[in-house]
Amino acid sequence: MALDGEDDLRSLVSPIVAAAGFDLEDVAVRAAPGTRLVRVIVDRDGGVDLDAAAELSRQISARLDESAGGVAGTAVISESPYTLEVTSPGIGRPLTEPRHFRRAAGRLVTITLNDRSQVIARVACVAGEDLLVLTGADGLTAGRIALADVANATVEPEFSPPPAPVAAALAGLQASAAGPNPDSHEGEGAR
């Protein structure tokens, strides 16, 4: 089967991406003059560094080339030329999964709720089925937003780190979501 849709590509590269410790965010195949652009978008906690992306690209390319030489009618990529691009998601990609919000911790996001209202908030962390955020004019008002109430969210570009009071408030929210310090002796009788 020649690569008409992206499902075949997704099936082919998913195990490679997972084995390398990445999440497969998306695949796309686009026609380009004389070739095709095969884009594989991956992410992981801590981000995607160039060396890891290059190694993953080599592994995927080898698998695609192997597939192209397969039995007639079974190749995921036909023998026609293609350009493979392994990349991380851009800043403008929508946050749709809890892992996206987890990776956006500390970032300023615009959240559109199911009722179409919008909230500009700084993500502290994901706590169960909720987002812990900082909102308000000073960015110091703690809040909780149910992930189920989020219709759309995107990261806002920023060119400097958050002010020290905001960073401290974020750290406090993150610590409160993590629960008591395991080295602490508080609450030992409640076990």
Residues 50 and 119 in one domain: no
180 confidence band (pLDDT: 50, 70, 90): low
Residues 77 and 105 in one domain: no
Domain for residue 52, yes or no? yes
Domain for residue 59, yes or no? yes
Domain for residue 92, yes or no? no
The pTM (predicted TM-score) of the whole model is: 0.74
Residues 102 and 81 in one domain: no
Q: Is the pLDDT of residue 189 over 50?
A: no
Residues 78 and 114 in one domain: no
User: Are 71 and 79 spatial neighbours (Cβ–Cβ below 8 Å)?
Assistant: no
- pLDDT tens column, 12-28: 999 999 999 999 999 98
Count how many domains the chain has: 2
Q: Is the pLDDT of residue 80 over 50?
A: yes
- pLDDT tens column, 124-140: 999 999 999 999 999 99
Domain for residue 103, yes or no? yes
Residues 131 and 166 in one domain: yes
Q: Is 4 left (phi over 0), alpha (psi -120 to 50) or beta?
A: alpha
Q: Is the pLDDT of residue 3 over 80?
A: no
Instruction: Show the domain range for 62.
Output: 7-87
CATH of the domain at 42: 3.30.300.70
Residues 108 and 79 in one domain: no
Residues 42 and 109 in one domain: no
pLDDT for 6 equals: 80
Residues 25 and 55 in one domain: yes
Domain for residue 121, yes or no? yes
Residues 51 and 119 in one domain: no
Tokens of 29: 């195949």
* Final residue before a domain boundary, out of 87, 122, 152: 87
Domain for residue 185, yes or no? no
Domain for residue 79, yes or no? yes
Query: How many CB atoms lie under 10 A from the CB of residue 143?
Result: 15
Domain for residue 186, yes or no? no
